[in-house]
Amino acid sequence: MFSRRFWLPLVGGLSLGILAPMGIAACGSGSSGDSSAANGTDSSSSGSQADTTTNNQPDSTVPEATAPSSDSTTSADAAATDSMEASSDAGCLNDAPPLIDPKLLPACDGGNCINAHCVPTTSLPDGSASLFAACNATSKCLPDNFISTNGKFILATCQSLNGAEGRCLSTCLPNIQPTLPKSVCAPGEVCAPCFDPVSGMTTGACTLSCDPGPTKPPFTFPKCCSDGGTCLPSASLPDAQTSALTMDICPSDPNNYLCTPNEFIGGDGGSVPPSCDSLGGGEGRCLSACLASIAPKASKLPQSSCDVGHVCVPCYDPVTGADTNACRSGTDKPQKPPFTFPSCCSDAGMCLPAIDVPDAQASTLGGNTCPSDMNNYLCAPNEYAAHPDAGDGGDAGDGGFIPPTCASIAGAEGRCLSICLPSIGSQASALPDAGCTPGNLCAPCYDPITGTDTNACHVSSDPGPQKPPFTFPSCCTNRGVCVPTSLVPSSQQSQLGMDTCPNDTNKYLCVAPRAFAVDAGYKPPSCTGLFLVIPYTGVCLPDCLPALSGTQGQLISQGDCSQSGDKCAPCNNPLTGQSTGACN
């Protein structure tokens, strides 16, 4: 999550045309007269103001022997003011000797700001002082070409962002960002575009003083993210923020465009995104779905009260309680304590709103002990909740996880899965723990009876089974299946035999017909038969079962059973009337 807002390094509304009526004049203003008087001051007050500039040392290019003292600096400021006033009706003087020598004034102390000097604020036209950086309480920092021409100049033409027409302006001006293209500009200058390449509105850079204006139509950057973003050259963005952006549908060309949400352009970095109700009703902020960190999760975040193309990102991760930084843009900070989802399944799971669970996974989860409210919570194992892409088939790096491999029933390949899953919890007595962590059991990759894929080895980022399907051996001339004794209810074990099953550590029993092993609710076909001369009703069962083989089996007929090898097992003993269990 990003922590500050982007802004495009543009001129930002600089329009020095307002300087025309006074000292720093535009061409043909015809203005003359006492600037101090116009500002309600006299020369003595101007001199007094200039006295406060003595802390700003004169430009180092002035020889030390002639460097002005405090008094001479005051005199230079006054002379500069008088010169501005006296020549306000002169023509543009770009190539003429300077009307005012900027080096007589204190140099601006602005780090990378060069070729600029401090001018008394009283020498500037009303309303223009805010366009310049302050040297101190009584003077402003102006580029030398503004001073030497007394505001009558034509700036050099250059190529700005994406080759658009621009003018060379000093980076000492507050609204001129040093990240703009250098082009053909002099040291300390960058090329400011004539038109804002985002909105197409004029920047004022090409209408200053004597400039006749732009010669080319406006250029604007392409739009992206369903017009919710603008494609900006990566070079115009802060390095620390480019990783938070994607190309989206921006053109692939040398500009290396990145799709920047519109609300991050043109601000000062201090704006606060709108508040909203995020996952589970937790506090959140409306952020653009174009952002690289949000785009992959946008479908799982609510839009809430946010504008189109935005989603409500929680201030805190509702699973871990960790700060997401979504609510810390500029001066923003969360207003409520962290919200986390309720726990379930004896703290082995977490309740997630059903709307935030992928459809493919919702059917595998149950409510467990989750609250029954408007969120329609589903109990997801903690490892699922910690990896929101679980079940989406993404790579492990996409936020999913790979359950541990284990040896399941009869040693078959399996995965350790949580008993919080209804399909695992309902078969807990039949599945081994096989070294899985508490609360997990080893589910086989394939059904050992049918050989069908159980999907236990396709959870989240699991690459799938690494071994071929394992199935139990057949028995009873392929009419039955060998099942480990541990999987056969103890009440039924005495009714089954080994038949042809392997005699190994699994202690197999032959379950016949096979349908009994596949479907616990299976009911064999009904039949009628004769025991000696006594008629009876029963069910058709394979003759490999111990009760239907041997001497006793010879007395039981096939009756009207159609399957070869089946006998009609009586529901009740024809001689005593007691239940045989065959029909139960």
Q: Say whether 204 sits in a helix, a strand or coil.
A: coil
DSSP assigned state of 124: S
Tokens of 436: 């899985």
* Residue 353, phi then psi, degrees to nearest 5: -55, 135
Listed in sequence order, the DSSP H helices in 281-428 are 359-362, 382-385, 422-425
* Residue 394, phi then psi, degrees to nearest 5: -80, 175
What's this model's pTM, rounded to 2 decimal places?
0.57
Tell me the pLDDT of the chain averaged across its residues.
81
Q: What tens digit of pLDDT does each residue of 458-481 get?
A: 988 889 999 999 999 999 999 999
Instruction: Give the whole-angstrom CA distance, residue 28 versus residue 264.
Output: 40
Do residues 16 and 128 make contact, with C-beta atoms less than 8 angstroms apart? yes
In DSSP notation, 236-301 reads: GS-HHHHTT-B-TT---STT-EEEEEGGGSSS-S---PPEEE-GGG-EEEEEETTSTTTGGGGGGS
pLDDT (0 to 100) of residue 32: 34
Instruction: Give the whole-angstrom CA distance, residue 566 versus residue 562.
Output: 8
pLDDT (0 to 100) of residue 90: 43
Q: Considering only CA atoms, which of 484, 481, 421 is closest in space to residue 454?
A: 421
pLDDT (0 to 100) of residue 41: 33
* Residue 314, phi then psi, degrees to nearest 5: -70, 150
Q: With a cut of 50, list the residues of the chain below it in pLDDT.
A: 1-90, 390-399
The tally of CA atoms less than 13 A away on the side-chain side of residue 195 is: 18
Instruction: Give the whole-angstrom CA distance, residue 209 versus residue 211.
Output: 6
Do residues 496 and 511 make contact, with C-beta atoms less than 8 angstroms apart? yes
Instruction: Give the whole-angstrom CA distance, residue 203 versus residue 176.
Output: 11
Torsional class of 523: left (φ above 0), alpha (ψ -120 to 50), beta (otherwise):
beta
pLDDT (0 to 100) of residue 244: 86
User: For the chain, how long is the longest CA-to-CA vector?
Assistant: 142
How buried is 394 (Cβ within 10 angstroms: 0-12 exposed, 13-18 middle, 19+ buried)? middle
DSSP assigned state of 106: B
Helices (H) and strands (E) in the chain, counts: 11, 24
